[in-house]
């Protein structure tokens, strides 16, 4: 590839965008998202954008907006200046050489490189990632107000608007018996009209999970996400083996690297992987984790870190290319934020998210919106 594709420079900034309501997790509540937006310029004049979103600063895992910004500005950006942006794997290797871990940061930089290269070629990003095999996916919505009546009202509005009929409930912050009662109330209200999943975000120990998962399944929950700590593969294995056949167990925080995926596959420690571009360290590595899922007869789910329309569209481009058995997606981050940073978001129609074509990720970042939410300009503090 000619010098056309050489990287000129890379810039990153933190945005602070409020959410439409507080979003409660087992580990706390958020009322804003702070994505790091990367812009990469090629010597040919083309530019591409990437994003890394965390949840609650470093509450979800080790990386925070501030650590991502630092890794990009101090190490990843300088290491990639002058490199050929179209050699995605080589970029990843170069980033690994100067910086261990920091997968979210690397994922955002790789995303910007893929966007810039596909825009230079005038093609959709999916065409550089294996080619698409699907145009849309069912889109889940997370009910996380913490209040059963409010959650039911929100779900009713989503059903009436034909936006969502798969609802993920965030539990684990309260006593398990209270959570089971909360899930039961929502399940009874929506019975026969929606499917329910739960995400416990590592809150339970193995015994608590063993005791309460049957009640969740009995109330109609069909997918149970990360009930126990990230490290607790043995509990995941035992819970997966014991789960009634009408529900599936999904790993999220436990499945980041291809090695994590292989370990879960070898131990038959889950039925489904939640795939997320950020935790896998980019689009290319998301495909590596998905390949292990397919080879091991493990399903996949299109996960989110509540990205804006930019990171969500980039995720949609790689999800569009994946083989294997899918269980829908949850790229609803843009709907949870008060405003968007792109001119035209992805289409949501008849309970499905329709994946955009290109060039790039098929969404156009509006520079003034980046300026409006820029933390440095707003003078806000870290979460």
- Residue 142 binds which entry of Mg ion, ligand MUC, none, with Cβ cut-offs from 5 to 8 Å by kind? ligand MUC
Picking from 332, 333, 319, the residue whose alpha carbon sits closest to that of residue 274 is: 319
Backbone Cα Rg of the chain: 20
Closest approach, Cβ 13 to Mg ion, in A, equals 26
Contacts of 286 (CB under 8 A, 6+ apart): 275, 276, 277, 280, 318
CA 353 from chain centre, in angstroms, equals 15
Binding segment toward ligand MUC, per CB under 6 A, in 229-237, 301-309, 314-322, 372-380? 301-309
Q: Which of 33, 219, 304, 315 binds ligand MUC (CB under 6 A)?
A: 304
Site track 45-74 with ligand MUC (rule: CB under 6 A), x = hit:
----------x-------------------
The residue from 51, 253, 307, 330 that is catalytic is 330
Q: Which of 110, 151, 154, 252 binds Mg ion (CB under 5 A)?
A: 252
The closest residue (CB) to ligand MUC is 142
Picking from 118, 5, 137, 29, the residue whose alpha carbon sits closest to that of residue 383 is: 29
Picking from 251, 204, 242, the residue whose alpha carbon sits closest to that of residue 224 is: 251
Would residue 330 show up in a list of annotated catalytic residues for this protein? yes
Picking from 265, 270, 274, the residue whose alpha carbon sits closest to that of residue 247 is: 270
Please provide residue 206's backbone torsions phi and psi, each rounded to the nearest 5 degrees.
Answer: -55, -40
Would residue 368 show up in a list of annotated catalytic residues for this protein? no
Residue 263 CB neighbours (<10 A) = 15
Binding segment toward ligand MUC, per CB under 6 A, in 44-52, 79-87, 184-192, 303-311? 303-311
Q: Which of 16, 84, 110, 199 binds Mg ion (CB under 5 A)?
A: 199
Closest approach, Cβ 304 to ligand MUC, in A, equals 5
Site track 126-165 with ligand MUC (rule: CB under 6 A), x = hit:
----------------x-x---------------------
Contact yes or no for 350/325 (Cβ under 8 A): no
In this complex, which beta carbon is closest to Mg ion, that of residue 199 or of residue 326? 199
Give, in order, the Cα–Cα distances in Å from 83 to each of 4, 6, 34, 86, 360: 11, 5, 29, 9, 19
Sort strands 166-170 and 299-302 into parallel, antiparallel or unpaired.
unpaired
Closest approach, Cβ 256 to Mg ion, in A, equals 12
Closest approach, Cβ 1 to ligand MUC, in A, equals 36
Separation between Cα atoms, residue 244 and residue 43, nearest integer Å = 56
Take residue 323 and report the two structure tokens written for it.
């083989």
Take residue 81 and report the two structure tokens written for it.
């200046």
Site track 220-259 with ligand MUC (rule: CB under 6 A), x = hit:
--------------------------------x-------
Give, in order, the Cα–Cα distances in Å from 33 to each of 23, 122, 248, 366: 10, 31, 29, 18
The residue from 168, 170, 276, 279 that is catalytic is 170
Closest approach, Cβ 286 to Mg ion, in A, equals 15
Take residue 100 and report the two structure tokens written for it.
């261990």
Q: Which of 84, 330, 340, 352 binds ligand MUC (CB under 6 A)?
A: 330
Distance between start and end Cα atoms, the chain: 42
What are the start-end ranges of the H helices in 196-249? 206-218, 233-242
Site track 213-242 with Mg ion (rule: CB under 5 A), x = hit:
------------x-----------------
- Residue 326 binds which entry of ligand MUC, Mg ion, none, with Cβ cut-offs from 5 to 8 Å by kind? none
Q: Is 312 in the site for ligand MUC (CB under 6 A)?
A: no
Residues of the shown chain interacting with Mg ion in the complex, contacts defined by CB under 5 A: 199, 225, 252
The residues that are catalytic are 170, 330
Which positions touch ligand MUC (CB under 6 A)? 55, 142, 144, 170, 199, 201, 252, 303-304, 306, 330
């Amino acid at each position: 590839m000619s010098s056309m594709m050489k990287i000129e420079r890379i810039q990153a900034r933190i945005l602070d965008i409020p959410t439409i309501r507080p979003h409660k997790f087992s580990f706390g509540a958020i009322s804003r998202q702070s994505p790091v937006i990367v812009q990469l310029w090629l010597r040919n004049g083309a530019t591409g954008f990437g994003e890394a979103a965390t949840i609650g600063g470093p509450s979800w895992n080790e990386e925070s907006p501030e650590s991502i910004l630092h890794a990009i500005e101090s190490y990843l950006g300088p290491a990639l200046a002058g490199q050929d942006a179209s050699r995605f794997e080589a970029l990843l290797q170069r980033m690994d050489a100067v910086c261990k871990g920091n997968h979210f940061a690397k994922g955002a930089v790789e995303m910007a490189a893929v966007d810039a290269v596909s825009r230079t070629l005038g093609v959709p990003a999916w065409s550089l990632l294996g080619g698409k095999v699907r145009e849309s996916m069912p889109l889940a919505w997370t009910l996380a107000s913490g209040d059963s009546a409010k959650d039911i009202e929100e779900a009713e509005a989503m059903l009436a608007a034909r936006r969502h009929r798969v609802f993920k409930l965030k539990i684990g912050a309260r006593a398990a018996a209270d959570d089971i009662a909360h899930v039961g109330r929502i399940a009874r209200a929506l019975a026969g009209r929606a499917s329910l999943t739960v995400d416990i975000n590592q809150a339970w120990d193995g015994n608590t999970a063993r005791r309460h998962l049957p009640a969740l399944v009995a109330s109609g929950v069909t997918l149970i996400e990360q009930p126990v700590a990230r490290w607790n593969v043995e509990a995941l294995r035992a819970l997966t083996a014991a789960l009634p056949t009408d529900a599936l167990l999904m790993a999220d925080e436990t499945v980041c690297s291809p090695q994590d995926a292989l370990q879960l596959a070898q131990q038959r420690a889950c039925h489904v992987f939640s795939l997320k571009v950020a935790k896998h360290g980019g689009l290319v590595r998301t495909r590596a984790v998905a390949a292990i899922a397919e080879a091991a007869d493990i399903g996949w789910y299109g996960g989110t870190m509540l990205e804006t329309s930019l990171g969500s569209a980039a995720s949609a481009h790689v999800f569009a290319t994946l083989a294997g058995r899918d269980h829908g997606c949850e790229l609803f981050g843009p709907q949870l934020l008060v405003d968007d940073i792109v001119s035209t978001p992805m289409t949501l129609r008849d309970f499905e998210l329709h994946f955009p074509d290109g060039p790039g990720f098929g969404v156009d970042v509006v520079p003034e919106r980046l300026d409006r939410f820029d933390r440095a300009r707003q003078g806000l503090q870290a979460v």
